[in-house]
Structure 1
Amino acid sequence: MKLLQKAGMTLFIVASTLLISVLFLNRYKLTDAALSKAITDSTERKMVAMDLAPMMGKTYDFNVSFNGDIDKHLQSSNKKITSKFEITDQDIGNVLSQFSGQEIRYSTEKISDIFDDSEEGQFKAQKLKDYTSWMHEKEYADKAGLQEHLENTKSSINANIVNDKGYSDYKIKALKLALTRQSGFGPVSENSLLWLLLTIGLGVVGALMYIFPKLELLPGIKNDHVYHSPNSGRGWVGYIIGFLLIGFYVILYWYPEYMTTWMELVDPISMALNGNEASQWFFYGFLYTLAIGVMGIRMIIKYRHSKYQMIRTYSVIFFQIAFAFLIPEILIRLNRPSMDLKNIWPLNYTFFFDYNIENLTHSGSLGLGMLVWGIVLALIGVPVITYFYGKRWYCSWVCGCGGLAETLGDPYRQLSDKSLKAWKIERWMIHSVLVFVVVMTFGVLYTYFTGSSEIAGINTYNLRTVYGFVIGAAFAGVVGVGFYPFMGSRVWCRFGCPLAAYLGLVQRFKSRFRITTNGGQCISCGNCSTYCEMGIDVRWYAQRGQNIVRSSCVGCGICSSVCPRGVLKLENKDPKDRFGEAILIGNDSVKMNA
């Protein structure tokens, strides 16, 4: 058994090393064909081709240097554009010269006479008209007041010239990704299926070779030095895995142009499912689903003594494969609106974004059905189902984030902080995120229905950008998964998930779900607290015979599965009896504490 496991681990490490090496195997050459595939708009393609002319036909050994040159040339073009179209002090002086005396009445009509008919002249004239339209017919006591407003207008126009005429940071990133994706050539591009089998394929085989021999062990928790393992006990292996996960998420969210060869690996699968080349999100979804599937097998083997755990694991695997991965991709192939039907607002914080609402409302009955489904599920389904079953129906049976935490993150579940301080921080953070997403969503809907992008001086577009960067990417991805080996498997679920906070509020105050405890049978072994991934000191409740109704509890049932005395039981009963009376066990007696 140990020999097979060592062989499997060796194979997995080799496959992982090959997967990282794949990033450096291709070479890159910018050609007309690559430009045509990367940029569909002919006008934009001509502009980019002109700006990147020095790169055409040149071969690059690494995508780092290839992307570096793209960035250099596009930024150089931005400088030229800014120099050509920026509003100068002289332009402002010319505008001021059209007005004289005291009690000046500003008029946008006088701007046209100042600039010539050249491209830059007409651009400046139009921008000044647009940006000062609110000043039209406004009276000023003297030129100083008018000059102040014009100077502010100049700064605003110049700050947006790159967005209007050149390449914004977002556009440069999109171009780098598209051009790198289409300009690569080499062994990975020519044999993507072979390299997929040599990397991810062999990795899966190695992982299963390591996992299946565990069938020879007795089922259940062994407490076999989990805190002494270099992987599960915050040792050097765990730190390496943690930093690799963090690096992966940083590249995925902010530097996807450096992982285009990974996308090519899964092109055959993407083409089969949705008819398109793989994006970074398809690659991520494929890897995510594979991780839940493979580590789900480990979970089933480890907890095969518990029917509840086995069914729960089958459930999260099914929902991830079918609802999160396959169905959305097939809908894309059918040219239908694509959506993970189990991803609920506020976890799916983009659901009410204008582009998503427009897409769904203009996609016929299916799109409208998805819109109604999402609203009903968030406003009616969540509180009703949570009333009957607690938040476990979603967090432990359906959610992809929870599914990854329960499977891939299971070796690290004991690392969750059970201290009172952590609990206090958790409550403040997760409910702050919930408030943040509610305010952001309100702003998004306000903009959608009114057309105004500001509420009380706050730009709603900036609000959604900040939320997407801080919560949607950095917290949910980089910290939420990358910190498994440091802080346990449910970092995101405990401290950041707004849907978990929403479900938790319902569970805490109006639900039939609770975990009952039999304090008379508790031997204080601590297994329940050790393996609670949500940082709940379950033993504290068990020793006192108190029901566990914490809003953070996801009802995974691991505490019950690892209890050697059957002290803990997951129940759905009359809400009136949830809190009950505590059983106090002393040296001399056992009594009820009303």
Structure 2
Amino acid sequence: MDKHSSFAVSNPHKVPLDSLQKLGLWMGIIGVGILAFATFNFHSEPKSVFVLVSIALILVGSIVYGRQSYIKQVPGIKNNHVWFKTLSNRGVWGWLLGIILTLFYILIYWFPQYLGLGMNGEENTGLVVMFDSISMFFKGQPASQWFVYGTLYTLAILSLGIKFMYKYRHNRYQLIRTVVVIISQLFLAYLIPEILEGLNTETPYFAKDIKNMWPLNYYFFESWHLDNMVNGGTLGMFYLVVGIFMFLVFTPIITYFVGKRWYCSWVCGCGGLAETAGDPFRHLSSKKLSAWKLERWLIHSIMVFIFIVTIAVLYGYFTGSGEFFGLSIYTYFSKPYGFLIGAMFSGVIGVGFYPMLGSRVWCRFGCPLAGYMGIIQRFKSRFRITTNGGQCISCGNCSTYCEQGIDVRAYAQKGENIVRASCVGCGICSAVCPRGVLKLENGPEKGRINPTDVLLGNDVDLMDLVNQK
């Protein structure tokens, strides 16, 4: 092998950035740089103007870079060389990004004063003060760390969602799904809750729950939350009734007809960030059987944990007691769950570890709502991914880019339906298949479970097969 061939292996078809890509990249870097310098109290004045300049640079820069990167290519999924890039193959840039994201989440959750949040009545400084003008516009009060987080979260989904759409522009399902994801985050999770909080300054807490439901919203039945909804007038009672209706009635019904994808891939903010900002890292999700076993044990254990926590919390609310079986409800139930699952797992690990573990760590291993809907999808749903084994060429694209760690190719080679509790129906496996082997469908329950699932021990009851005959 000559030196040119050797170079091609280590740097496969490396294409230099054109002028527009460089422009978009530098716009994004400058926008992020303004916020980064603000974190260390180096502000550009006036702050109210430069925060908008920063947001505009990040948004426009991402769009320019994304469009120029894909619009000049033939339509189709381009995941070329992801295993060679240092950012998407756990290289130096990947680890650096993971460390920055993890540090940011730790500061947001537990040390917001280092981001500039004013403590004990003090004025905001640093990064947080940059968003005071936007918060005052919506709510008439200075920004909190959560307002800053929500704004940046929404900006990431919006800007990188548009980039995602350029990349997947050949696939109608992905285009529609991404538009819905962006609208859900922008309006349901950000604008509407912030506006409602500004209009209901005395009882704002339930306004944040417009898109979440128990068990994902683990504090739904805590006393302070129930009190605010009960005392929140008509709007508060509306949210209480709707919240209970959503997980008891609506969720099981809609999951039966279309699977858990209606929420996990179309509405959920965690899923929205994973599908947009996390797209470059989806192939890092482990496909090992050991990971699948860990997934089932972990997510169902967390479901049991939140169920026990909820019983304890409701017991304390209706009895007026702070103890459950002699144990402090806050010390032994609510606080541990909020810290370990609500913050550490879903935030720090769930997003901070994108560049190391893939984009759906939280959704796959921890989210109790995903686990709840997964049980319904697995055993009582019309949703499945059908396969045409005769057309499969075993290229492995489907398995590689499944962010939930499902070995899709193994099912496709046998021509079997893919019916897994963890599948979020993102449709990327179908989009990257060069032969059209995979298809997302909602069909009759009969025949959706594969006979070999029993032999493989894939959590299928023998009665399922008997009932299908």
Q: TM-score range by the shorter chain?
A: 0.7 to 0.9
Could you tell me how far apart the structure 2 residues matched to 1:220 and 1:443 are?
A: 51
Check if 1:466 corresponds to 2:321.
no
Check if 1:527 corresponds to 2:404.
no
Could you tell me how far apart the structure 2 residues matched to 1:295 and 1:520 are?
A: 36
Could you tell me how far apart the structure 2 residues matched to 1:272 and 1:199 are?
A: 17
What's 2:465 paired with? none
What's 1:566 paired with? 436
Alignment equivalent of 2:31, drawn from 15, 27, 47: 15
What's 1:304 paired with? 169
Q: Which moved more, 1:447-456 or 1:373-382?
A: 447-456
What's 2:226 paired with? 357
Give CA deviations for 1:318-377 in whole Å, capped at 9, x if unaligned: 111111001111111211641332211111111111011000101111110100000010
Could you tell me how far apart the structure 1 residues matched to 2:58 and 2:425 are?
A: 32
Q: Does the CA contact (< 8 Å) of 1:263 and 1:280 recur in 2?
A: yes
Measure how far apart 1:204 and its partner are. Answer: 2.6
What's 2:65 paired with? 210
What's 1:46 paired with? none
Measure how far apart 1:442 and its partner are. Answer: 0.8
Check if 1:201 corresponds to 2:56.
yes
| TM-score between both structures, scaled by the size of structure 1 | 0.69
Could you tell me how far apart the structure 2 residues matched to 1:455 and 1:465 are?
A: 14
SS at match of 2:439: strand
SS at match of 1:342: coil
Could you tell me how far apart the structure 2 residues matched to 1:203 and 1:380 are?
A: 41
Could you tell me how far apart the structure 1 residues matched to 2:67 and 2:315 are?
A: 54
Q: Does the CA contact (< 8 Å) of 1:471 and 1:496 recur in 2?
A: yes
SS at match of 1:577: coil
What's 1:428 paired with? 297
Check if 1:330 corresponds to 2:195.
yes
SS at match of 1:569: strand
SS at match of 1:234: coil
What's 1:492 paired with? 362
Check if 1:278 corresponds to 2:133.
no
Alignment equivalent of 1:314, drawn from 172, 175, 179: 179
Q: Does the CA contact (< 8 Å) of 1:430 and 1:496 recur in 2?
A: yes
What's 2:40 paired with? 24
Give CA deviations for 1:406-451 in whole Å, capped at 9, x if unaligned: 0000010011000101000111111111111111111111100001
Letter in 1 for 2:208: M
Check if 1:232 corresponds to 2:91.
no
Check if 1:506 corresponds to 2:376.
yes
Measure how far apart 1:7 and its partner are. Answer: 2.7
Measure how far apart 1:206 and its partner are. Answer: 2.5
Letter in 2 for 1:348: N
SS at match of 1:571: strand
Measure how far apart 1:194 and its partner are. Answer: 3.0
Q: Which moved more, 1:271-280 or 1:364-373?
A: 271-280
| TM-score between both structures, scaled by the size of structure 2 | 0.87
Measure how far apart 1:197 and its partner are. Answer: 3.8
What's 1:556 paired with? 426
Q: Does the CA contact (< 8 Å) of 1:429 and 1:496 recur in 2?
A: yes
Could you tell me how far apart the structure 1 residues matched to 2:32 and 2:339 are?
A: 28
Letter in 1 for 2:310: T
Letter in 2 for 1:404: L
Q: Does the CA contact (< 8 Å) of 2:108 and 2:145 recur in 1?
A: yes
Could you tell me how far apart the structure 1 residues matched to 2:300 and 2:377 are?
A: 14
What's 1:157 paired with? none
Could you tell me how far apart the structure 1 residues matched to 2:61 and 2:175 are?
A: 23
What stretches of structure 1 move > 6 A for 4+ residues in a row?
none
Could you tell me how far apart the structure 2 residues matched to 1:380 and 1:398 are?
A: 18
Could you tell me how far apart the structure 1 residues matched to 2:36 and 2:154 are?
A: 19
Measure how far apart 1:581 and its partner are. Answer: 6.0
Could you tell me how far apart the structure 1 residues matched to 2:198 and 2:32 are?
A: 31
Could you tell me how far apart the structure 1 residues matched to 2:53 and 2:195 are?
A: 26
Check if 1:347 corresponds to 2:216.
yes
Could you tell me how far apart the structure 1 residues matched to 2:26 and 2:178 are?
A: 27
SS at match of 1:398: coil
Could you tell me how far apart the structure 2 residues matched to 1:580 and 1:472 are?
A: 36
What's 1:482 paired with? 352
Alignment equivalent of 2:154, drawn from 278, 281, 289: 289
Letter in 2 for 1:471: I
SS at match of 1:318: helix
Could you tell me how far apart the structure 1 residues matched to 2:279 and 2:79 are?
A: 13
Letter in 2 for 1:220: G
SS at match of 2:384: strand
Could you tell me how far apart the structure 1 residues matched to 2:292 and 2:140 are?
A: 47
Measure how far apart 1:22 and its partner are. Answer: 1.1
Give CA deviations for 1:563-582 in whole Å, capped at 9, x if unaligned: 11110011111111212567
Q: Does the CA contact (< 8 Å) of 2:62 and 2:163 recur in 1?
A: no
Check if 1:242 corresponds to 2:72.
no
What is the correspondence of 1:177-192 to structure 2 with a 5 Å cutoff? 187=43, 191-192=46-47
Q: Does the CA contact (< 8 Å) of 1:323 and 1:340 recur in 2?
A: no
Measure how far apart 1:222 and its partner are. Answer: 2.5
Measure how far apart 1:10 and its partner are. Answer: 2.8
Give CA deviations for 1:266-312 in whole Å, capped at 9, x if unaligned: 22211111221111101110100110000110111111111111000
Q: Which moved more, 1:532-541 or 1:5-14?
A: 5-14
Check if 1:537 corresponds to 2:401.
no
Check if 1:451 corresponds to 2:320.
yes
Could you tell me how far apart the structure 2 residues matched to 1:233 and 1:218 are?
A: 25
Measure how far apart 1:527 and its partner are. Answer: 0.6
Alignment equivalent of 2:246, drawn from 341, 361, 377: 377
SS at match of 2:446: helix
Q: Any gaps of 5 or more consecutive residues in structure 2?
A: 1-16, 117-125, 453-468
Could you tell me how far apart the structure 2 residues matched to 1:254 and 1:355 are?
A: 21
Letter in 2 for 1:4: L
RMSD between aligned alpha carbons?
1.7
Q: Any gaps of 5 or more consecutive residues in structure 1?
A: 27-186, 583-593
What's 2:269 paired with? 400
Q: Which moved more, 1:229-238 or 1:396-405?
A: 229-238
Give CA deviations for 1:26-55 in whole Å, capped at 9, x if unaligned: 6xxxxxxxxxxxxxxxxxxxxxxxxxxxxx
Q: Does the CA contact (< 8 Å) of 2:214 and 2:220 recur in 1?
A: yes
Q: Does the CA contact (< 8 Å) of 1:546 and 1:581 recur in 2?
A: no
Letter in 1 for 2:94: G
Measure how far apart 1:505 and its partner are. Answer: 0.5
In our comparison, the structure showing a higher alpha carbon Rg is 1
